[in-house]
A and B are shown apart, each in its own frame.
Chain A
Amino acid sequence: MGWLKWAKAQWDRVGAVVALGGSLLALYLGWLGVSDSVYPAQALPYVVSGGFVALVLIGVSGILWLSADLRDEWRKMDRLEDAWRASSSPGASAAAGNERLEMVGPR
């Protein structure tokens, strides 16, 4: 049960590991197809479906893991900003919550 709770909280990192596993599976299936092929023309579709899909899944894995890291940093910035607001103007922190400093880039 504790493991499920952890997996739910860390869904992006769990997804990254699953995508990495999927990429290895796609690579293996592609290799099986290529090794059973007699002609190069017969093997190329397996290269595309196995090899290229494996590359895509590695990309998905990477983006999920890096996004999780960036979200962690984002939440840490939220906590820092809340602490700063609370110490600079107690009582006004809740009202100022809508004007976070995060609004700095193109949204």
Chain B
Amino acid sequence: MIGPWGRSQVGALLACWTAGLAGIAVGWWGTSGRSTPGDQAAWVGLAAAGVVAFGAGVGLWVMAGRRVLGLRQARLFAAAVAPVGAAGTTKTSQVVSGGPAGLPVSSGMMRYYHRANCLLVRGKALIPAGVDHHRRDGRRPCGVCRP
């Protein structure tokens, strides 16, 4: 299945939906066979519980999808901007300096050089330099922003 859901999420969704639809069907059957609203109240409550179960399935499905997608996004971005040597690395939040004439940017610890506005280097302290300079230092162009 394409998407952030696994078998457990599909199973939970099907279970909630089956319970919900069964509750509504039985509730409808119960209300149809009664002649006074007092007798029907419990069956209507059962059908309402079915709607709640169905809605819970929907909510769990969407929340699970968003959570797994967010985790994957965080891992990918962390891996993409990981420095060569982790020792001595500082996590700064300085604004990226664009550099003159749109020069690609990087830092001493990075394996890739990027465009200044690349999402993968947002918020990092970087130094603009020419492509030759980056290549001489053994860096390669970012595959996402393709500087």
- Residues of A at under 8 Å CB distance from B? 40-41, 44-45, 47-49, 52-53, 55-56, 59, 62-63, 66-67, 70-71, 73-75, 77, 80-81, 83-88, 101-102, 104-107
In-complex Cβ contact of A101 among B44, B75, B143 (8 A): B75
Q: Which residues of A contact B69 (CB under 8 A)?
A: 70, 73-74, 77
Q: Which residues of A contact B112 (CB under 8 A)?
A: 87-88
Assign chain B's interface to a size class: 35 or more
Q: Are B28 and A63 in contact (CB under 8 A)?
A: no
Question: CB-CB contacts of B30-48 with A at 8 A, as 1s and 0s?
Answer: 0110111101100110011
B76 touches A (CB below 8 Å): yes
Q: Are A74 and B58 in contact (CB under 8 A)?
A: no
Bound-complex Cα distance A48 to B69 (A): 36
Chain B's nearest CB lies how many Å from the CB of A81? Answer: 6
- Residues of B at under 8 Å CB distance from A? 2-4, 6-9, 20-21, 24, 27-28, 31-32, 34-37, 39-40, 43-44, 47-48, 50-51, 54-55, 58, 61-62, 64-69, 71-73, 75-76, 79-80, 111-112, 140-144
Chain A's nearest CB lies how many Å from the CB of B110? Answer: 12
Q: A48-B28, A105-B71, A107-B7 known; A41 and B76 CB under 8 Å?
A: no
Q: Are B55 and A101 in contact (CB under 8 A)?
A: no
In-complex Cβ contact of A71 among B3, B8, B58, B111 (8 A): B3
Q: Are B6 and A106 in contact (CB under 8 A)?
A: yes
